[in-house]
Amino acid sequence: MKVLCTRKLPVQQISGSRAFGFLDLLVQSITLFPALMALLTFPHFSSHFLSRSSFPNIHSFSPTRRYCSIKATGTAILWFKHDLRTDDHPALLAASTFTSLLPIYVFDRRILSRFSDETLELLLLALQDLRKSLKDRGSDLMIRFGNADSVIQQLATEVKATCVFAEQEVEYELRLIIDVLKQRLKSVGGPQGSPRIELLQTPFYEVKDLQKLPASYGEFKKHRLPVTTPLQLSVSTLPGVEIELDWGEFRGVLPSYDDIKGFMTSSQRKSGENWRLIKEASAETVLRRKALESGDRIERSSNFEQTQSRERSGSVFVTKEGNAVGGGTNNVLNALAAYLRYLEGTARDDWQEVHEKVRAFESRDGASFIGLFGPALSLGIISRRRVYYEAIKYEQERNAGFLSPFGYSAATIAAAVDAVCSMEWYWLMALRNQTNNDGVYSTRIWKWKGFLIEYTVAGEDGPAVLLVHGFGAFWEHYRDNINGLAESGNRVWAITILGFGKSEKPNVVYTELLWAELLRDFIVDVVGEPVHIVGNSIGGYLVAIVAGIWSDLIKSLVLINSAGNVIPSYSFIPLSRVQDRQTSGASWLGSRILLFYLRLRTQELLKKCYPTRVERADDRLINEMLRASYDPGVLVVLESIFSFNLSIPVNFLLEDVKEKVLIIQGMKDPISDSNSKVAMLKEHCDGVIIKELEAGHCPHDEVPERVNTIICEWIIGVESKILVESPV
């Protein structure tokens, strides 16, 4: 059945340039190259240029669109998940062609467990607006609690559904739920046989064959794909449900925030509740508490202040924290209009509040957009292409209908366009990889704070092991460790952290504590039990932070040529706020110089990290590093190098877990003095076990068989000790 036809919307070509006279930075940057290689830095291309260098100009921008539909018989169920809107919703448009329509939202613990408290507030407010919008068109929104696949199967049986519509997903857990639902629907009988499930996506680019899209963003840009226009419902009245249904207690009202929290905790064990509490405290908060309890002084680069938003009527900041735009689609569109018009100023209180938040969130150029609108985009209160449409329409208004090929006329327009184009690219690549998953390992996607994170899993039984790569690498850097550890009786997870490999690279301020919190949440939400955590290079420093702050999540810690310093007799723990890590002109220029240099010298620099087996630095690694260096958002990640804080002492982080620490050190590391490092660890970190290997900076990939044996023997020893110490 042909449901939807969309009209092309060309994409603008934009280019931008900045100039700074930091000659001293050039010298400083060159001296940083060896240190950067210690972090395996192979960054990626900036989101600043993702929509500015490859697309044809727009000389006209028409909001009109064409769509065609065929009236269908029977009942359609429309399952809302992360698409909480009626605006620009292809699945709703398709479902509206049926003679009977039942929209539903299911509060499913498996989905809700990933949401922060503020996101739960935003969810409830979005559902309130969605229900009102549906009621205005003669429909309604059913609310249910439970496993979505089971709930929808029961409803499909009750209403004799013909079809279940839902938006396409890339996150592994949601795809799994959808697959279970597909199987369940086969057992449901109906007037036209078992109901089918139709997954639709809100298209951004006009993609004819997903599998033919290149994996390189540089090659993708050459396709010059047009952007499609947003859709609106063609009917003022939606079909209702033809049979009487039990709508439950939430037909007239929505559940409260306390109802949702109670539902989430009703079946949790005590350990589950403790883990939920672990996620609620930030890494900085726990570190400060830990340092104070041990009598250490905390040094901050500036006074810690909390800014509370002012209470105003009609505010677009609807949660208690007041950090993100929320409510319904119209509320978000109003905030977007204020955001885009930041340079104009305004007398409106609600718009002034948005402008104040822009200034507060603009820790680096363009970061305010994700900070303010990221949750609304993640929940689908507004679509990515609606944001693009509104931004380009406003750009035309500012320029008498003309769109310049030389740049956007406002930084906020550039930030909005860059953000949604970047999000769409990573979403397409995630979907492409999910549907073409025939490699050695299965690729999975996890959504963290709205961002797409890639990982893989191997092994069916045994202790849980989590592998964390170094700066600029990706989970495939453990290519010969994953199966080796799994075949020895372990369940192995390997993750590509935010900003690297094929994981998303949003415009945020990247810090060591941000990545530590990501790893904490991955252990809680995905692995679901304490892990033996392994980290190489900067990844070693990150896992040390996780172990030092949340030791309950860690069975043991394995550091492989880890970054970080041992500081004897330290007297304070240095912490700095995100606001103190604003991008400077120096870091802007330095990141671009480094990117050019590293692209030019990737092969040479990588081979130096494999002194005993140069052939291991093969085309497979080099090509992926070069591919990733063209991803949108890479320069944002690279700029973070200039504000990294690696000064929290490693010996401080290992104090509570040092009896559970294994250190594997490649003694031919060309980046650091391994002999000096080992000596410091032996002197100031009592209880750690150290294994010295004839290898360079990446022993796990240079001599994987040897490292696998060491780690497996280590895990067996730790597990045996745990078994002995466990109460009967």
pLDDT in tens, 618-630: 999 999 999 999 9
Nearest to 61 by CA among 392, 523, 404, 338: 392
| pLDDT classification of 63: cutoffs 50, 70, 90 | very low
pLDDT at 22: 31
pLDDT at 41: 32
Measure the CA–CA gap between 145 and 128, rounded to whole angstroms: 16
**Is the pLDDT score of 218 beyond 80?**
yes
**Is the pLDDT score of 332 beyond 50?**
yes
pLDDT at 330: 95
Beta bridge mates, 167: 200
225: DSSP letter: P
Q: Taking a C-beta distance cutoff of 8 angstroms, is the pair 428, 385 a contact?
A: no
Lowest mean pLDDT among 25-34, 149-158, 282-291, 575-584: 25-34
Per-residue HEC secondary structure of 27-88 comes to HHHHHHHHHHHHCCCCCCCCHHHCCCCCCCCCCCCCCCCCCCCCCEEEEEEEEECCCCCCCC
The two structure tokens encoding residue 323: 């950090």
Residues 511-535: b if buried by 16+ CB within 10 A, e if exposed? bbbbbbbbbbbbbbbbbeebbbbbb
Q: What is the mean pLDDT of residues 95-121?
A: 93
Nearest to 9 by CA among 349, 386, 265: 386
pLDDT at 297: 56
pLDDT at 210: 87
pLDDT at 285: 84
Lowest mean pLDDT among 136-145, 186-195, 483-492: 186-195
pLDDT at 23: 31
28 compared with 406, residue with greater pLDDT: 406
238 compared with 39, residue with greater pLDDT: 238
Is pTM beyond 0.85? Reply is yes
| pLDDT classification of 437: cutoffs 50, 70, 90 | low
Q: How many helices (H) and strands (E) does the chain have?
A: 25, 17
Residues 619-645: b if buried by 16+ CB within 10 A, e if exposed? eebeebbbbbbbbbbbbbbbbbbbbbe
Task: Quickly list H helices, 524-670.
Answer: 538-549, 585-608, 619-628, 634-639, 650-653
pLDDT at 296: 60
Lowest mean pLDDT among 298-302, 458-462, 664-668, 719-723: 298-302
| Angle subtended at Cα 361 by Cα 277 and Cα 635, rounded to the nearest 5 degrees | 100
**Is the pLDDT score of 60 beyond 50?**
no
187: DSSP letter: T
127-130: long-range pairs with CB below 8 Å, 24+ = 127/84, 127/254, 128/254, 128/328, 129/84, 129/327, 129/328, 129/329, 129/330, 129/331, 129/381, 130/80, 130/84, 130/85, 130/86, 130/105, 130/328
**Is the pLDDT score of 579 beyond 80?**
no
3-state secondary structure of 539: helix
**Is the pLDDT score of 119 beyond 60?**
yes
SS3 content of the chain, % helix, strand, coil (to 5): 45, 15, 40
Q: What is the mean pLDDT of residues 117-142?
A: 94
Q: What is the mean pLDDT of residues 126-147?
A: 95
Nearest to 698 by CA among 721, 674, 677, 681: 674
Beta bridge mates, 151: none
| pLDDT classification of 702: cutoffs 50, 70, 90 | very high
pLDDT at 114: 87
Give the C-alpha distances (Å, rounded to integers) separating 97 from 188, 191, 199. 22, 17, 16
Residue with tokens 């949108």: 632
| pLDDT classification of 718: cutoffs 50, 70, 90 | very high
Burial of 647 per CB tally in 10 Å (0-12, 13-18, 19+): middle
**Is the pLDDT score of 473 beyond 70?**
yes
Measure the CA–CA gap between 511 and 642, rounded to whole angstroms: 11
Checking phi first, is residue 138 left (phi over 0); if not, alpha (psi -120 to 50) or beta? left
Residue with tokens 């949750």: 375
Residues 40-69: b if buried by 16+ CB within 10 A, e if exposed? bbbbbbbbbbbbbebbeebeebeeebebeb
Q: Taking a C-beta distance cutoff of 8 angstroms, is the pair 559, 533 a contact?
A: no
| Angle subtended at Cα 587 by Cα 583 and Cα 588, rounded to the nearest 5 degrees | 80
| pLDDT classification of 658: cutoffs 50, 70, 90 | confident
**Is the pLDDT score of 267 beyond 70?**
no
Measure the CA–CA gap between 23 and 40, rounded to whole angstroms: 25
Q: What is the mean pLDDT of residues 241-252?
A: 80
**Is the pLDDT score of 76 beyond 90?**
yes
Phi first, then psi, for residue 495 (nearest 5°) are -120, 145
Helix (H) or strand (E) holding 252: none
Mean confidence (pLDDT) of the chain: 84
Sequence-ordered list of residues with C-beta below 8 angstroms from that of 91, at least 6 positions apart, any chain: 78, 83, 165, 166, 167, 198, 200
Measure the CA–CA gap between 29 and 589, rounded to whole angstroms: 9
Sequence-ordered list of residues with C-beta below 8 angstroms from that of 153, at least 6 positions apart, any chain: 181, 184, 185, 187, 188
pLDDT at 378: 96
Kindly provide the residue ranges of all beta strands, DSSP E only, lying in 366-434, ordered along the sequence.
none
Dihedral in degrees, nearest 10, Cα atoms 67, 68, 74, 76: -20
Q: Taking a C-beta distance cutoff of 8 angstroms, is the pair 188, 223 a contact?
A: no
Lowest mean pLDDT among 160-169, 188-197, 417-426: 188-197
